[in-house]
Chain A
Amino acid sequence: MTIPFPDPSGRAGPVLPAPCPPTLSEAFPDSALDPGPIGFVLAALPRGPRPVLWVQDHATARESGVPYALGLPIRVIHVRASNAADALMAIETGLACSALGAVIGEIWGAPKRLDFTATKRLALRAEAAALPCWLLRRGAEPDLSAARQRWRVASLPSNPDPWDVDAPGDPRWRATLFRSRLGPPGVWEATHDRAADRLDLAPPAGDRAVVADAGARPRRATG
């Protein structure tokens, strides 16, 4: 974790997202073609021997592909549902199982069944089971939802590969936590350190607004 300087203006949000117990989170891509959220979520999932239940509806499986064992850092049980209702049922069933490590649900668009009540059910079940549950929402606008954390993830050009200047290195994303029940929202640059298999979050680099009392003498504690 890199923590360069706390931003006193608070524009970029806190240095780190508030620590959160396993709960329901949503991830939205920047554009429908952007596969960024998948990589971000896979990097953010806890590692361990327990398999991950990965639920996809048909539209997502067709558009963004199906899990590929050779490229995944985790063991996966893949469920393909024909519609959103079946997908939600599968996610909910998975959240009742103590043998899973996490649940990923990919649902295309904004079907009627995926309303506030449905997300509330998922959130409560995920918290009761202490299982991280990620909903990947492609082709959807972030409307009403009970997800405790809602992220917008956009791909960024990756870090340079130290061994090959032309090759893509560790992948990076701009992760915007635009809504959170557990702490203030914020924007971070996320990097998946592939060697250590770890997700690093850092406040975005770049110019910031000048702080109002920049240059003033630091206040001294009195007393």
Chain B
Amino acid sequence: MQERDLDAPPDDAPVVLAVDGPHGPVIHATARGAETSGARVGQRVVEARAAAPHLIVAWGDPSGDAALLDRLALWARRWGPHAAVDGDGLVLDTTGADHLFGGEAAMLADIEGRLANAGLSARLAVAPTRGAAWALSRFGPVRAVCHDPAACAPLPVAALRLSDDGARTLSRLGLKTVGALADIPRSALMRRFAKGREAEPLVQLDRLFGRLPEPVAPADAPDPARAVIRLSEPVQDPTPHLPDLTRALCAGLARRGEGARRLRLTLFRVDGEARWVDQRTARPTRDPDHMLRLFDGRLEGIDPDMGFDALLLEAEAERLDAAQPDLAGEVDQTEALAQLIDRLAARLRHVTRPVPRDSHVPERAQALVAALGDAPAVALDRPPRPPLLLETPEELRVLYAMPDGAPMRFRWRGQTLDVARFAGPERIAPEWWADRAGTRVRDYWRVEDARGRRFWIYREGLHGDKRGLRDEDGTWRDAPPRWWLQGISG
């Protein structure tokens, strides 16, 4: 990878990039000017310097290069759906995609031009097999377009993607070019390169000629439902193009009988970067207007830099059959509800549905499920419960309680409340299968103060229950019960 800074040295300067090796810095990459001075990749810097004192040594950043390559692989998907990092380069499966760009040669020119705009120089080749493309891009002519892997015959054997051992074996045998290796009868080759690591030259040769498959495996799942728009001029604001994009995606989804559960809008920048926005939906949908609203206001935070020139909308799809209106002409209300929830959840994080759950402990008897998820039907026959529950119970100071336990006067939030009516106690024992040891029993009261304010309070623990305090040796001691306010009824 070359430097992308604007103050990068000229192309013919003798620059090498160095990384730490076991015996001092080792050359990691060379510029063209350095190669003519005799520097090689893998050479130690001191040796190279001894031979060519004018070398300019800079430190390389292999992890940064790898990260840039990862991003570039994403960016390269504008030319085809399958792009992946391949060692120090990118491999792109352009099967059936080149005609969109006016043929293979035109596509290569397009790729090179756009990479150059992004400040990157690249060596490109198109070939019927991955091995041939690898070989031609590194050892072949500029922008090679090859239709027959046999065209690789004049290339050196290094073009076979061999390890050092394999290359050494071939050089000892005096095989200099791919063609020389390919001309040897196969039975002889198989005898010499039979198995294991030894078989490497044969395997790579077969890959180059397409006798062994070598698919491009992009990091994520292939073939999502997708719609793409390529713009002739970069735009700063992609919003006006979104309606076309969602309509195209939904038309595709409708043909496949699917609806989108997840959406990813990827915006390709001119400078070789891509930005994306993810959205989820509560139910599969193929309503373009609804999709459009999900991206409302989500693109504002994206830095367009020099502008976007391609938009890609991908969907992770699920089966969705056409909705049947009922006899009254109304479509299922769940759809409208799902769209509402999507729209809310796109902007706010806390959109939930409280549903009852089978538990006796009040705060555990309610589950917050995703707003449109399936909720288990739990029929609970419980004494009256308040409509509102404090998220954490607030401690009360009971000033006066009846001998049987009912509180008569307590302080809460700085106010003194006199209890006029009460109902209780309702005893709720801790759930031993879920609670920690030492959890105390609760006695709940519904109380109403003299002004009619209704609350749900509980006493935690009993006198003499030996549960309140724990000594250092692990035995439990008695502690006075505590009072808490947990629920509020209107």
Contacts and interface: CB of A to CB of B under 8 A. Distances in A.
A203 interface: no
A78 B354 contact: yes
A139 interface: no
Give the one of A43, A53, A62, A66 with max B CB within 10 A: A66
Nearest to B372: A77
Interface string A43-67: 1000000110100000001101111
B269 to A, nearest CB: 30
Contacts, number: 172
B351 A68 contact: no
Interface stretch (B122-130, B233-241, B331-339): B331-339
A70 B391 contact: no
Interface string A20-53: 0000000000000111111111110000001101
A39 B388 CA distance: 10
A79 B350 contact: yes
Contact of A157 (B348, B351, B362, B452): B452
Contacts of B386: 68, 71
A167 B446 contact: yes
B389 A98 contact: no
Interface stretch (A10-18, A86-94, A140-148, A208-216): A86-94
Interface stretch (A120-128, A158-166, A177-185): A158-166
A166 B354 contact: no
B40 to A, nearest CB: 59
B371 A77 contact: yes
Contacts of B388: 35, 38, 64-68, 71
B391 A166 contact: no
A80 interface: yes
Interface in B375-389: 380, 382, 384-389
A161 B387 contact: no
The main secondary structure of chain A at its interface with chain B is: mixed
B143 interface: no
Contact of B348 (A33, A37, A80): A80
Nearest to A95: B340
B454 A171 contact: yes
Nearest to B380: A70
Nearest to B450: A157
A98 B488 CA distance: 30
B333 A157 contact: no
Contacts of B391: 61-62, 65-66
Contacts of B353: 51, 75-78
Contact of B488 (A64, A78, A90): A64
A101 to B, nearest CB: 10
A36 B446 contact: no
Contacts of A43: 490
A78 B350 contact: yes
Interface string B426-455: 000000000000000000001110111111
Contacts of B340: 53, 93-94, 96-97, 99-100
Contacts of B415: 33
Contacts of A39: 387, 454, 489-490
A163 to B, nearest CB: 10
Give the one of A37, A62, A158 with max B CB within 10 A: A158
Contacts of A80: 348-350
B387 A51 contact: no
A168 B454 contact: yes
Contact of B385 (A71, A156, A171): A71
Nearest to B392: A62
Contacts of A90: 344, 348
Contacts of A37: 490
A102 interface: no
A36 B453 contact: yes
A39 B387 CA distance: 8
A43 B453 CA distance: 16
A79 B336 contact: no
Interface string B305-344: 0000000000000000000000000000111110111011
B193 interface: no
B422 interface: yes
B490 A66 contact: no
A100 B337 CA distance: 7
A155 B451 contact: yes
A99 B337 contact: yes
Interface of A: 33-43, 50-51, 53, 61-62, 64-72, 75-82, 86, 89-90, 93-94, 96-100, 154-158, 161, 164, 166-168, 171-173
Given A154-B451, A157-B452, 20 more contacts: A35-B490, A39-B490, A62-B391, A65-B388, A66-B389, A66-B391, A67-B354, A68-B387, A69-B356, A70-B380, A72-B354, A72-B387, A79-B344, A89-B347, A97-B339, A99-B335, A100-B340, A157-B421, A158-B454, A164-B423
Sort A-B residue pairs by CB-CB distance and give the 8 closest, nearest first: A39-B490, A80-B350, A155-B452, A167-B423, A38-B490, A71-B385, A65-B388, A99-B336
Interface of B: 333-337, 339-341, 343-344, 347-356, 362, 365-366, 368, 371, 380, 382, 384-391, 413, 415, 420-423, 446-448, 450-455, 487-490
